[in-house]
A = this chain, B = another copy of it.
């Protein structure tokens, strides 16, 4: 692994375990087994490391370039995949609001992504309607479902945290089940049958 990759790997591990507040670039350098000077050769500061990790999460999710799913099973499998990526980068899900306030560059990226994600969700609704997977929806209901799915996507882990208990991986991954339950009343009979046959979902 390149040094840069090693730094990101250790930073992610430390941020997930202790949060970003108590972790300095010195802690990250030490965990990587390099000098602070060497770390600064690769990253200007902690904020830059966080933005890189955000970019990596974004790439792994690949939302932007993703083709709309051909089947409901494809869609649900992708939902589950995304939830595991979020879990791997869980400090971002827990702290994103705080990190955005501290770093205007990150804030701008997140805002652009949120808009893009919302457009994609509206397209997805259209697509599912065209394929006969969900019943015809009014514009209003299309927006409501996109709002609900986006809320679950962006705030589920944070929401679990407001109960004050440790968020387990199982609880975090349940987000895909919640999304499918939100869609359930709008699925066509054909789609419900299809969903019951999906493997591993």
List residues of A whose CB falls within 8 A of some B CB: 21, 97-98, 100-101, 107-108, 110-112, 114-115, 118, 140-141, 144, 147-148, 150-152, 154-156, 158-159, 162-164, 178, 181-182, 185-186
Contacts and interface: CB of A to CB of B under 8 A. Distances in A.
B154 A111 contact: no
Nearest to A185: B185
B151 A155 contact: yes
Dominant secondary structure at the A interface: helix
A148 to B, nearest CB: 6
B111 A162 contact: yes
Given A97-B97, A151-B151, A185-B185, 4 more contacts: A21-B101, A100-B162, A111-B163, A111-B164
The quantity of this chain's copies bound in the complex is 2
18 contacts: A21-B101, A97-B97, A97-B98, A97-B158, A98-B98, A98-B101, A112-B164, A114-B163, A115-B163, A115-B164, A144-B181, A147-B178, A150-B159, A151-B151, A151-B155, A151-B159, A154-B159, A154-B162
A150 B161 CA distance: 13
A138 B15 CA distance: 38
Among A100, A118, A144, residue most surrounded by chain B Cβ atoms (within 10 Å) = A144
Q: Which 9 A-B pairs have the closest CB atoms?
A: A185-B185, A111-B164, A155-B155, A144-B181, A114-B162, A97-B97, A151-B151, A98-B98, A114-B163
A182 to B, nearest CB: 7
